[in-house]
A and B are shown apart, each in its own frame.
Chain A
Amino acid sequence: MIKMNKVLGKKGVKLALLLMTAMLVVAGCSSNGGSKKGSDVSIEDRYTVDPETPAWQLDKKSESTELTWYVNADWWNTDFGKDVVTKKIKEDLNIDIKFITGDDTKLNTFFAGGDMPDLLTIFDSNSPVVQKAATWALPLNDLAEKYDPYFNKVAAADTLNWFQLKDGKTYGYPNYSNTQADYDSGNIPAKTAFVIRKDVYEALGSPSFGTPEEFKSVMNQIKTQFPDMIPFGFNSIGEGTGSLGDVLQDFIGVPLETEDGKFYNRNLDEDYLTWLRTLNAVYRDGAISDDSFADDGTGFEEKVKSGKYATMLLDGTPQQGGNLQIFMSANPGKEYIAIDGPQSTVGHQPTLNQSGITGWMISYITKDCKDPAKAIQIFTYLLSEEGQKLMNYGIEGETYKANSDGTVELLPEVKDLQLNNADKFKKDYRMGEFMFFGHDRHKALSKDAFPESIKQMQEWGQGKLKPHFILENINPDQGTAEARGLTAINTTWNTTMVSMIRAKDDAAFDSTLADYKAFLDKNSWDKIVEIRSEKMKANKEKLGIK
């Protein structure tokens, strides 16, 4: 019996040890993060680098390279090689890409698990993932030098400079990164507009909306003449307060910085507050619907689609392009048109914002990449003129033709498909959708790049854009007390702004504003302003702005 127990005891100990080992192994797996050394590939028997020729044209690697590419967006279409665009990429580069998509949780798993994909695309350029890219991604400068010097010809120097980390290297490259040169070229279309339904505008005798008094009286007129419509609408209130926050500030041209180049709290600008008071008066007259403050994106879009709003301050006209087009097609002569709308009471010009130098998606080559040479070739290829045209318009002669003036035009049958069978167009061609390195300057090459409904709005915006580069990525680093303070302040501003517009009387308006100011003082606003001012200074140095 005793012997028996001893045996069992040993077994018990063994079992316990086994379980503990299992735990350690599993726990260990979760903590060996992305600190692997980058794999070096030899390109000796493949090609010799030539600064004048893209490496993808030189590379003689015969077998197809398989790469995994993680995109931090659930909605990304993971097909590769089935449509015109990706089929061409697959053939030209002799690659096969396996796309994986997911949300932040999955992204975190990659980092925690240490088993990284070859390429990685994320969206938030203010996140620690971007700031600490040196620990997990390969520097594009080194890759270009080693495998594909042509990359430096197609990449924008300003953009590379902008994404440079403290070690002097750049790890990620964004899309829709607009440089000063892009702004100067006039190729970037405006995406903000004050729009009004054409029939309403004509019925009212094309009035002016410029001053607060004019705005108030026209809104009242709309209310009496068109009782079924909501006189004034705006993008759904969410983070950033819809289009009544910084978008309205841009619209009336609130300054971006103080005169001595420090951070300026645009929310408290007198000019802007005058317009908020005006909106409050308009609300009290019943010309702004309460529902506009509770509507989510879908609710707002439904109203755009059905032409429910008489006027709108609209941000993101391309995103609303489809809805505006639906209304326009069904109601000829009643389409929304952009007019000058509210203007600064102190004579400022509009400073409309567009995608800045930070861009939108940022793509990286990770240290675990199986073939970094091939990976940088993809970057070069997609960034080149050829790649850009392919992503936007497909293949010359097959889907588009180039005009003598340098513009391009989709072939009639392709255009027809785009207009009348959007799903099939998307599936077979996928043009304008595979946009890892897409840029506005290439969108500007063709009339076919944007829907008909917003073209007049884009024309209206010409010359009204002003880069907001100095205000990009200036928030305190995540996880700091200031970042927490800022989150609280932003949330409060959201509530404050809406409460001011919905205020019962002037006294309520003023007390809400006073509460917000008090809240700023309580949440280390001074320090946030200091951090932001410093980051603005660094931005100016990076971009060479005085």
Chain B
Amino acid sequence: MNKTAVVPSTSMPPNAKKPMGQRIKDFVIDYKRQWEIQSMILPGIIFMIIFCYIPIYGLTIAFKNYTVIDTLSSAPWVGLDNFKIILSDEYFWDAVVNTLGISFLKLGIGFIIPIILAIMIYELNMGRFKKFVQTISYLPHFLSWIVLGGMLITWFSTSGLFNELLLNLGLISKPSNILLDSGKYWWIATLSDIWKEAGWGTILYLAIMSKIDPTYYEAAKIDGASRLRQIWNITLPNMKSIISLNLILTVSGLLGSNLDQTLVLMNSQNRARAEVINSYVYRMGMTQGDFSYATAVGLGVSIVSVILLVTANKITSKLNDNQSVL
């Protein structure tokens, strides 16, 4: 087949809108020309349909009163009842407040620390020491929350590491179990999460930094720029796109995080400040068998997360000269 023959005439400027019919025609022609390549995406599309789109049908139970015995189609419709219950459920709103509180603390502190850490590691000169620092900071990431949670429970107990430390420093006179103090829970959750993930978070930043052209730094040095000045004017601007991407991903996950950590560290005394949306959904759905209600909460959270994602994308694209990362 003569491929050049099917290329449409270009009397119009390329960006001008063509009539609908013409566009469909062009699409079909293009598609036919590249059908071998295009067909490679088919398995992916089919996979998506089967595993991502068909299950969406299951969301209908958010509008039904579903029990295990019912089928998706036989359960009775209840309209928006489940959503109405959500609005008047104070436990749910407590969970929302906790989720946002913990997530924003994590975002506020936990987002910046990996950037600073990455820059510090990058600025280290000694090869061996650099590797050592990197490895040490990654390590906690590979431990699951079950293991870390067990460690934390021991450390926070009355005879644990922290109480011993505070007693010896004379900061407290009587040991108390820190995990039972609901007022401290948000900080425990935030700081332990940073401890676990900060090192891992540096990987992307270090990768992008290794791509920065060294001649920038050489030029800057000749111009007499200080170390800090170099970081501010060369390193950080080069990291902008990856920071934006990371921010978008973090923001869109604001409402959906903290499950493992909560399940391990929550107890009867700190529940009021520890319960997050995900653990609440888990409790309602898996342990109480209230699937419809749990699905309704999950659906609501997903919708809000999409809104957050789009908003974060808009904001970061403004920061990146109107270039969207997504």
B271 within 8 Å of A (CB atoms): yes
Contact B269 A33 (CB under 8 A): no
Is B103 an interface residue when CB atoms closer than 8 A count as contact?
A: no
Interface residue B57 (Cβ < 8 Å from any Cβ of A): yes
A128 touching B72, Cβ below 8 Å = no
Interface size on A, residues (CB 8 A): 49
Complex interface: chain B residues within 8 A of A289 (CB): 158
Residue A294 is within 8 A (CB to CB) of chain B in the complex = yes
Q: Are B54 and A136 in contact (CB under 8 A)?
A: no
Residues in B whose Cβ lies below 8 Å from that of A481: 85
Given the known A-B contacts A104-B286, A290-B176, A478-B290, are A495 and B272 also in contact in the complex, defined by CB atoms under 8 Å?
Answer: yes
The answer to whether B28 touches A294 (Cβ under 8 A) is: no
Q: How far is the CA of A105 from the CA of B69 in the complex (A)?
A: 13
Task: Give the residues from 68 to 105 in chain A that come closer than 8 angstroms, CB to CB, to chain B.
Answer: 104-105
B69 touching A294, Cβ below 8 Å: no
Nearest A residue to B179 by beta-carbon distance?
A: A294
Cα separation A299 to B156 with both chains bound (whole Å): 13
For B176, give the chain A residue with the smallest CB separation. Answer: A290
CA distance A488 to B93 in the complex (A): 13
- A33 and B71 contact, CB distance less than 8 A: yes
Cα–Cα, bound, A104→B28 (Å): 48
Chain B positions within 8 Å of A495 at CB level: 268-269, 271-272
Q: Determine whether the beta carbon of B68 is less than 8 Å from that of A127.
A: yes
The A interface, classified by DSSP as helix, strand, loop or mixed, is helix
CB neighbors of A among B250-284 (8 A): 267-269, 271-272, 284
- CB A30 to nearest CB in B, in angstroms, measures 6
User: Do A111 and B288 touch across chains, with their CB atoms under 8 A apart?
Assistant: no
Q: Does A268 contact B (CB under 8 A)?
A: no
The 8 Å CB contact of B32, one of A8, A34, A104, is A8
Choice from B74, B290, B292 contacting A33 with Cβ under 8 Å: B74
Given contacts A294-B267, A495-B268, contact A488 B70 (CB under 8 A): no
How many Å from the CB of A492 to the closest CB on chain B? 9
Chain A contacts of B269 at CB under 8 A?
Answer: 293-294, 495, 498-499, 502
Contacting residues, chain A, for B70 (C-beta < 8 A):
33
B68 pairs with A488, CB closer than 8 A:
no
Indicate if A203 sits at the interface (CB-CB under 8 A).
Answer: no
A44-84 vs B, Cβ < 8 Å mask (1 yes, 0 no): 00000000000000000000000000000000000000000
Q: Is B65 an interface residue (CB 8 A)?
A: yes
Contact across chains for B289 and A128 when beta carbons are under 8 A apart: yes
Known: A128-B289, A291-B158. A31 touches B49 (CB 8 A): no
Pair A488/B91 contact, Cβ less than 8 Å:
yes
Report the interface size for chain B: residues with CB under 8 A from the other chain: 45
CB pair A494 B268 closer than 8 Å: yes
- Is B69 touching A132 in the complex (CB atoms < 8 A)? yes
The reply to whether A291 and B292 form a contact with Cβ atoms under 8 Å apart is no
A112 proximity list for chain B (CB < 8 A): 71-72
* With A136-B69, A479-B65 as contacts: A290 and B25 at CB distance below 8 Å: no
Say if the beta carbon of A330 comes within 8 Å of chain B.
no
The answer on a CB contact under 8 Å between A502 and B25 is no
Within 8 A of A (CB), among B44-94: 46, 49-50, 53-54, 57-58, 65-74, 85, 89, 91
22 chain-A/chain-B pairs, Cβ below 8 angstroms? A22-B49, A23-B54, A26-B54, A33-B70, A104-B286, A112-B72, A127-B68, A129-B68, A136-B69, A290-B158, A291-B157, A291-B177, A293-B177, A293-B267, A294-B157, A294-B177, A479-B65, A483-B290, A487-B284, A487-B288, A495-B269, A502-B180
The 9 closest A-B pairs by CB, nearest first: A33-B71, A290-B177, A128-B67, A132-B69, A31-B73, A494-B268, A291-B157, A31-B71, A31-B72
B residues adjacent to A (C-beta < 8 A): 25, 28, 32, 46, 49-50, 53-54, 57-58, 65-74, 85, 89, 91, 153, 156-159, 175-177, 179-180, 267-269, 271-272, 284, 286, 288-290, 292-293
| A residues whose Cβ falls under 8 Å from a Cβ of B | 4-5, 8, 19, 22-23, 26-27, 30-34, 104-105, 107-108, 111-112, 114, 127-129, 132, 135-136, 237, 241, 289-291, 293-296, 299, 478-479, 481, 483-484, 487-488, 491, 494-495, 498-499, 502
- Further pairs besides A291-B159, A293-B177, A483-B288: 5, Cβ < 8 Å: A22-B50, A27-B57, A112-B72, A132-B67, A498-B269
